[in-house]
Structure 1
Amino acid sequence: MRVLAFTLLALAALPTPALARKLDSTPRTVVMTAFPPEWDALVKSVDKPKSYKINGLTFLTGKMAGKPVLLMQSGVSMVNAAMNTQLVLDRFTIRRIVFSGIAGGVDPGLSIGDVIVPQDWAQYLEVSFARKTGDSWKVPEAVDAEAPANWGMMFPRGVRMGNAAEPVKRHYSFGVDPALLDLAKKVAGDVKLERCVQNESAACLPHDPKIVVGGTGVSAGVFADNAEFRDYLSSAWKARVLDMESAAVVQVAYANQVPTIVFRSLSDLAGGDAGENQMVAFMALASVNSAHVVRAFVAALPN
């Protein structure tokens, strides 16, 4: 008993785990990016910055357009995005999440440089791989009527989950916050997008880019550059844009009941480009255009 009592006292004396402590009590809007070009387009807009380091990531608090914000990088791809979305919610006091970044265009009506603000996000590789049986496929679990069409052996299965306000059910997509989407519609008409940026590797656009609010975005841990699969995503998922993080961020936000919205500017056409993939040529421009809209959006947020 003495040994047990001593052990319990020793454990009680240990410092509280870092994950249990909030580092900042000010309610803030997370302005999330995935990687350096997206961060670079926004970091100079953060006034009076204060930097925190957690797990090798930088979290920059300050103000943007007079509003309390936290700028961060999620890291590229789905696991990084989900993990670090939960991390920022655990360690800071967060009102909402606003994602700014680049993406590949799926909707044939969209062009490089356009900024897209989808109303919902889906994970297109949350699927079952079916068994080939003669000329057909046998899926290992039943597919319901709401499932998007398959692509060969890949049959969308969605994900079952709920949150504190909703029971567990199957989701094929997760919606962004409706009030934030309405605000994005109001802001969209007041923002001028760029055709060129000052960057040695950047190209200029031959057209004026536009802002489009609504439709579906899709995400997976895949750098997609395939015209046939792009057509599938457009027809089966009604996707307008694809990336590698947003659906993960929106799903984690849903679980935590945190209002979220995503702004993505097209750096390429995900396999629909006339020649080679254009991401390297246009990622700086796309990052800047998304940042322009996000700054205006943050400025329009209620105090």
Structure 2
Amino acid sequence: MCIGQCSMHVVGRRRRRMWGAVDLEVMLLGLLVMVQVQLSVQLRCSHPMHGVVDRINENAGPYIGLVMTFPTEEIVLQTSGFFVPSSEIPWVDLAGRRFNIGKVNGVDVIYVMTGEQTLNAGVAVQTLLDTFDIHGIVHYGIAGSTNDSLYIGDVSVPNYVAFTGSWKWKEFKSADGELTELKFGAFNFPEKGDNLLAKIDFTPQQLYSAGKPMEEVFWLPIEPKFFNIATTLQDLQLLQCVNETYCLPETPKVVFGLRGSTADIYLDNAAYRKFLFKEFNVSTADEESAAIVMTSLSNGVPCIVFRGVSDMAGGEEKLSATSVTSLAAMNALTVAVEFIGLFGEEAVIHDH
């Protein structure tokens, strides 16, 4: 750990000068170091970006970590004008990703495009939390809808997400499991029947977090304080028109309190879509949200998710010929930006 390593050299030199006597100044310095380490784990001393990161953490912050996973989601942020880059240090490249420093709605923000799927998302968010002084994660992006009442352009603000890509594949004719099962024979066509693929049991995740024993969890909760702030955005106006000649038939809306599903699977299948909604009551399917929420929970950092519906995940789509990915990403970003502004106001009130 960089701060601790650097301080140990200082302590050693002073102890030699004092011929082994206890130096009160060094003791105080050690206490200060412990406090700083608790606040932020920074880069090792030999890292070429160590000094730059120190300046970023000292000059502003604490920051909101704004996280997206897909190039279109970053493009709408860059073209929207919502993000104002820092004039001193606008970005830092770490772990193959660019961490952009600036402000959104007057709030200090560091944003990063993680890359797709759970492993990329988890690595990027952990790097963000280990390196910078982050006091909250805001994640926005696109998703498929598994809920017939959630339409293209709508933005879901879930209060729980789950990783539904962790399975135990059972033997043919095996006994029923304890958790939810997917029986392949139930989807045989044209008639239901036995299937040598048998069935799968969905399994929970192992959640490790500081100061707590490991626990197995299936549903990962969104930070309640963040969720409560977001609920005031229910009447937020969202984009309805893809371009000057085509608009969505429904006015997009912000929907709260649904559940999200994450797996390293792009879902484009009506039967599995229906299964997820029926058995788990999930309304959106994506490839990253649960990894981002779990990483935040492990580090004790609050997190919230905003997902704009870009497709119906294999369900009936009347808009299949029209690209609405950018609109869905923009609507999710719009809600995220408004949330960040409200969070900034709350922070100012509590500071006073």
Cα deviation per residue 1:27-84 (whole Å; 9 max; x = unaligned)? Answer: 1001111122111222321123311111331111111111111111111111101111
Q: Displaced runs of 4+ in structure 1, greater than 6 A?
A: 18-21
Matches within 5 A, 1:147-186: 147-152=179-184, 153-186=199-232
Cα deviation per residue 1:211-252 (whole Å; 9 max; x = unaligned)? Answer: 101121010111100000001100111101010100111111
Q: Report the 3-state secondary structure (helix = DSSP H, G, I; strand = E; otherwise coil) of the residue aligned with 2:264.
A: coil
Moved more, 260-269 or 168-177: 168-177
Q: 1:165 to 1:236 in 2, by over 3 A?
A: farther
Match of residue 222 from structure 1: 265
Gaps of 5+ in 2: 1-43, 185-198, 348-352
Q: How many angstroms does 1:273 deviate by? A: 2.6
8 Å Cα contact 1:114/1:210 also seen in 2: yes
Partner amino acid, structure 2, of 1:32: V
Alpha-carbon distance between aligned partners in 2 of 1:18 and 1:81, rounded to the nearest angstrom: 24
Q: 1:20 to 1:138 in 2, by over 3 A?
A: farther
Partner amino acid, structure 2, of 1:239: V
Whichever structure has more helix as a proportion of its residues is 2
Alpha-carbon distance between aligned partners in 2 of 1:250 and 1:128, rounded to the nearest angstrom: 23
Moved more, 155-164 or 21-30: 21-30
Alpha-carbon distance between aligned partners in 1 of 2:297 and 2:134, rounded to the nearest angstrom: 14
Normalising by structure 1, report the TM-score. Answer: 0.85
Q: How many residues align?
A: 279
Match of residue 142 from structure 2: 102
Does residue 292 in structure 1 map to residue 334 in structure 2?
yes
Does residue 38 in structure 1 map to residue 73 in structure 2?
yes
Q: How many angstroms does 1:103 deviate by? A: 0.3
8 Å Cα contact 2:115/2:121 also seen in 1: yes
* 1:208 aligns with one of 251, 268, 288: 251
Partner amino acid, structure 1, of 2:66: V
Q: How many angstroms does 1:203 deviate by? A: 5.4
Q: How many angstroms does 1:169 deviate by? A: 2.0
Whichever structure has more strand as a proportion of its residues is 1
Alpha-carbon distance between aligned partners in 2 of 1:99 and 1:93, rounded to the nearest angstrom: 17
8 Å Cα contact 2:242/2:248 also seen in 1: no
Q: Per chain length, whose mean CA-contact separation is higher, i.e. which structure has more relative contact order (CA < 8 Å, sep 6+)?
A: 1
Does residue 85 in structure 1 map to residue 125 in structure 2?
yes
Higher alpha-carbon Rg: 2
Gaps of 5+ in 1: 1-13
CA RMSD of aligned residues (A): 2.4
Q: Report the 3-state secondary structure (helix = DSSP H, G, I; strand = E; otherwise coil) of the residue aligned with 1:87.
A: helix
Does residue 29 in structure 1 map to residue 64 in structure 2?
yes
Normalising by structure 2, report the TM-score. Answer: 0.74
Q: 1:198 to 1:255 in 2, by over 3 A?
A: same
Q: Report the 3-state secondary structure (helix = DSSP H, G, I; strand = E; otherwise coil) of the residue aligned with 1:131.
A: coil
